[in-house]
Amino acid sequence: MDRNSTIGLILISVILFAYFTFFNQTSNPAPVVETPKKVLLKSGTDSAAVVKTVNALSDSNFVNIPAKDIVIENEKLKVVFSSVGGGIKSAELKEYKDYKKNQLVLLDERSLDAKLIVPTTFGDVDLNTLNYISPVSNVFVKDTDSGSVVLETSVKGHKITQTFTLRKDAYLLSRKIDLGGLALKSNLITFDLTNYVKRTEADPAISKGQTTVNYYTDSFNSLSETSNDKEEQELSNAKWFTFKSKFFLVGLIAESPIAKLKVTSLGNVGDTTMIKTLGAKGDLAVNNGKVGFTYYIGPNHYQTCKKITEGFGDNVYLGWPVFNAINKYVIIPVFNFLEGIFSNYGLIIFVLVLIVKLVLFPLSYKSYLSMAKIKVLKPELDEIKARVGDDMQAQQQEQMKLYQSVGVNPLAGCIPVLLQMPILLSMFNFFPNAIELRHQSFLWADDLSIYDTFVKLPFSIPFGYGNHVSMFTILMTVATLVNTWYTSQMQANMSGPMKYMQYVMPVIFLFVLNSMSAGLTYYYFISTVITIAQQFIIKAGVDEGKIRAKLDTYQKGVKDGTTKKSRWQQRLEDAIKAQEEAKKSRKK
């Protein structure tokens, strides 16, 4: 590998470092601070006055109804409503646990504040402050396609009915509202939702850095994940929005586009229990006195989300377009296939590495073969250095002439590495966002979706390393350094600072990746070990004597005109001639 190729690889490493750093912006956790539930009210409005005024509009037999819980559930989701307010009191995901290994209650009375305002001719009515009755107390959706809970109330003689329907084996809860002929000032009702996002993962800083509001109009978009400052966006004709945490979503999918929507986000600095405050306020169309929408309360799992509605799968971040496509159409299908065969996720990742390495083996072989060709030219390269001295431009020209004469493309060893980069970066996006790895243990790692804490430090190391030691990251770094050393033995003309620069990036990645998913660093470790093994195998099958003989034969053929130049060789020859002409022109 020549000097230009080496510089190219170093630049690639710098780009990777910048890419990893950009997508790994987390802060150190702050001390745990309990944040009381906040109630967002209109300016100058007292909450007690609102409840009293609205309840005064209710028919007398609905004013003093005792509080009662109504439950609807399926195998995946359990939602509890209260007869007082009629809204969601709690939502539990049955298949998931929180970071303390307790049942995951994604929403409760502390984390959700909701208003649903109906503009009537006699004043605004907040449906979530009325009292309701229900003919049932518990609905379990198991043997039928769906089940429903009906809540009824009455205002000014008009019966208002809310119907919540939960589908079998799904995280979708539809809400249909029949306003019963209420006289409206406009055909729009306003929802105002605030989600004080609960901490569900072990590291609150990482969780906070991946929590935001996503929304979809003509395309997918979102507020900043990493910012703790107040973020807001006003938009129109949104089809859906979600309050997204690291692995879970609370979303609203409208039956018709939301006329006006304002979404907000604010980081709760110093709070590791309620990590962010997310909000959404918008208008929904009323048709013939009725309005409907659907909640999604569930995991941020690509295969689940992509079936919900247009663009919903994009809630799972899978990287920039190229990496996104590789993950969607290659990595995820293969990963899901392996899930059907193996139950241990450490083994699944290991087999995934084997498959990727097998597919990329032809590129690895070509890269090694190119370096082997340059290695056998070491005597000639050393002779060029001795002859031209420190004149780098002359040295480069002479090297190009040598490569051209023997039919060697010095970039051939670099191009296969470049072609493998999209796979590498796709994995960087896949593993940290794969909910399948959540709470899956392997060896000393308790949870492959977060860094493995082999040693907890009583202090924090700067430059992003943190207050823990990730053993998979250390093993990955050691393996990368060994692979770098082994590869450098094939680089015939590397010397000076270049010889040592290649060892810098693995050390930098030790800091960058220490707080990344253990599944990711484990993958990189196994991948690097297999790369080293592949090089040993390739080396055993490559005869440098035969390579030297082929290069000599090619060189002889070029001289006597029996060897046809490739297009690359012709372009290289033209470039050398152009350089020589330019050099002559400068001397005149």
* pLDDT score, position 50: 38
- Domain 47-317 is of which CATH architecture? Distorted Sandwich (2.70)
Nearest to 77 by CA among 57, 62, 96, 64: 96
Helices (H), 106-230: 204-208
* pLDDT score, position 399: 75
CA distance 19 to 27: 17
* pLDDT score, position 261: 97
CA distance 249 to 306: 13
Nearest to 363 by CA among 531, 505, 486, 551: 531
* pLDDT score, position 465: 85
Residue 8, burial from CB neighbour count under 10 angstroms (0-12, 13-18, 19+): middle
Helices (H), 210-329: 302-305, 321-326
Give the C-alpha distances (Å, rounded to integers) separating 89 from 114, 320, 459: 10, 38, 41
* pLDDT score, position 372: 78
* pLDDT score, position 272: 85
Residue type, 570: Q
Size (the chain), residues: 588
**What are the tokens at 306?**
């992509």
Mean pLDDT estimate for the chain:
84
* pLDDT score, position 585: 66
* pLDDT score, position 572: 60
Residue 169, burial from CB neighbour count under 10 angstroms (0-12, 13-18, 19+): exposed
430 φ, ψ to 5°?
-75, -55
Secondary structure of 15-39 in the HEC alphabet? HHHHHHHHCCCCCCCCCCCCCCCCC
**What are the tokens at 24?**
């790994």
Yes or no: say if 358 and 350 are a contact pair by the CB < 8 Å rule. no
Element (H, E) at 259: strand 248-267
Which residues are CB-neighbours of 283 under 8 A, at least 6 positions away?
A: 188, 189, 190, 258, 259, 260, 261
- In which residue ranges of the chain is pLDDT below 70? 1-62, 410-413, 415-416, 490-500, 554, 557-588
